[in-house]
Amino acid sequence: MTARVRDGLRHEVLDANLSIPQAGLATLTWGNVSGVDREAGVFVVKPSGIPYEDLALDDLVTVRLSDGEVVDGDLRPSTDTETHRCLYLAFPSIGGVTHTHSTHAVTFAQARRDIPVLGTTHADTFNGPVPCTPDLTADQCKKEYEYNTGRVIVDVLAGDDQKAAEVPAALVANHGPFTWGTTARKSLEHAIICEAVADMALHTLALSPTAPPPPHLLARHYTRKHGPDAYYGNPAPAPA
């Protein structure tokens, strides 16, 4: 099965996983990256519980996209594998998924708060607030918890693939951030940016708890980078 995975995918997924601690996004083994090969109908993901310093190419696990069955690899895939699979099935534009427990993004998740758009650094990547999901229900936690974690992310984005492409991150309430992108490496970059803007937002809100977004500036900034029809977030406030 390994031969069926597109050239370079396993190396890309390994490199992205090894970059998690290098970017300061992980404590112990908290975090994982996957990458999908849609033509082969599989994705490659980090195994569960392997320290980053010990992670090697042969440790990666290949999982079937349709049903979550392991088709290549001797180790148990990440406990978050079903969340990754749910996101791949819901959003065709996604090529990679990253999950971390980075400190500042988790702080917003534990407070059950979106990361607001407060400046152009955020708007460069996220066309609107990074949303936080509602709490999972008791039933969702009891059965298929990991897959249901993906479902609440899909729901908070209204199952909209375009919106997922424009806001490539979400916070799971009381858990942490999941980010995605067209490749595994891009999903990691979005995790790094998500943590950075969460840190900036916390400092901004500490100085000014009512700091508003500058909607006209952000609209101009995002559309200048992504095109005139891209902007949907942070509508201008009504006149006083």
Is-contact 9 180, C-beta < 8 A?
Answer: no
Is-contact 168 209, C-beta < 8 A?
Answer: no
Which secondary structure element, helix H or strand E, spans residue 42, and what is its range?
A: strand 42-45
Residue 228 CB neighbour total at 10 angstroms: 7
Of these residues, 59, 124, 135, 199, which one is catalytic? 124
Residues 6+ apart with CB under 8 A from 188: 16, 19, 20, 23, 33, 96, 98, 179, 181
Is-contact 11 5, C-beta < 8 A?
Answer: no
Of 186, 166, 176, whose CA–CA distance to 232 is shortest? 166
Count how many residues are written for the chain: 240
74 is catalytic: no
φ, ψ of residue 53 in degrees (nearest 5):
-70, -15
The Cα 47–Cα 79 span in angstroms is: 8
124 is catalytic: yes
Of these residues, 15, 135, 147, 232, which one is catalytic? 232
Is-contact 173 107, C-beta < 8 A?
Answer: no
Residue 206: Cβ-neighbour burial (10 angstroms; 0-12, 13-18, 19+): exposed
Q: Supply the residues annotated as catalytic.
A: 124, 232
